[in-house]
Every structure is written in structure tokens, then in C-alpha cells.
Structure 1
Amino acid sequence: MLRWLIAILFLANMLAFVTVRGMFGPAPLAGAREPNHLNRQIHPETLKVQPVAEAADLAVVGGPAPAPAISASELSQ
């Protein structure tokens, strides 16, 4: 049974090798699949890139937890 497992793994490795080497055609990531994608953007100069830390409220490891952005009150009975 171990021989069959080794044979199947060997064949899977060979299939992966010939696929990566381009035996079945070029890889999908080999070139631009949508060359007009950048040309179709509306106002690409208005895009702004922000670091992840500024984009969201993230807790700092080792620091205090951020204050919640909700208001709380006692329930009346």
C-alpha cells in the first residue's frame, strides 16, 4: 500500500513540474490578462494609499485597548 502512495505522490509531483514548466501553455499570471483595465479607470489620480495602521482602529500590541465608540447608560427598572 505504501508503494501505491509513493507512486501517486511521484506522479502528482511530475504533473506539477510539467505544469509549472509550461507544458500545458503559459501560466495565467505570465502576462497582463486585462491590458485595458488601467485605461478604463475613472480618475486614477484621486486614489490615496494609507498605511494599515491609519486605515482602521487597530489595537497596539502591548498597549491599552482603544476606548469603545459607543455610549452606555444604566437601565431603568
Structure 2
Amino acid sequence: MLRWLIAILFLANMLAFVVVRGVFGPAPTAGGREPNHLNRQFHAEWLKVQPVTAAEAADQAIVGGPAPTVPIAASALPQ
């Protein structure tokens, strides 16, 4: 019984090797399947640095300072 198991495992290993080598054609992940992929890539040269305005800076927490208070209105829940 162990001989049959070893033979089956050997054949499965050989089949996997043949598939990886591309005997049955290229793998689906070989490329050419996502033509839009290159358009979605990150391009550092397209980034623009903009200064932070005073209004935007008001929302930023100061490191080492107290935690900012959130303007939330609270009311009692009706029962």
C-alpha cells in the first residue's frame, strides 16, 4: 500500500512540475489579464505638495498637547 501512495505522490509531483513549466500553456497569472493595472499604479512624480491652511491645521492634534475636544451635542434619550 505504501508503494502505491509513493507512486501517486510522485505522479502528482511530476504533474505539478509540468504545469509550472508551462507545458499546457501560460499560467493565468502570467500577465496580460489586467490591461488597466498599469494605469492604477502609484506615480510619485504626479504628487503635488500643498501647504496646510489655518483652517485645516485647526483639526490637527498637537503632539504632546492635550487631546482636542470634539464638538458633540448631547441630549437625553427619550424613554
User: Per the shorter chain, which TM-score range?
Assistant: 0.3 to 0.5
Q: TM-score, normalised by structure 1?
A: 0.46
Q: TM-score, normalised by structure 2?
A: 0.45
Question: Greater share of helix residues, 1 or 2?
Answer: 2
Instruction: Flag the structure with larger Rg.
Output: 2
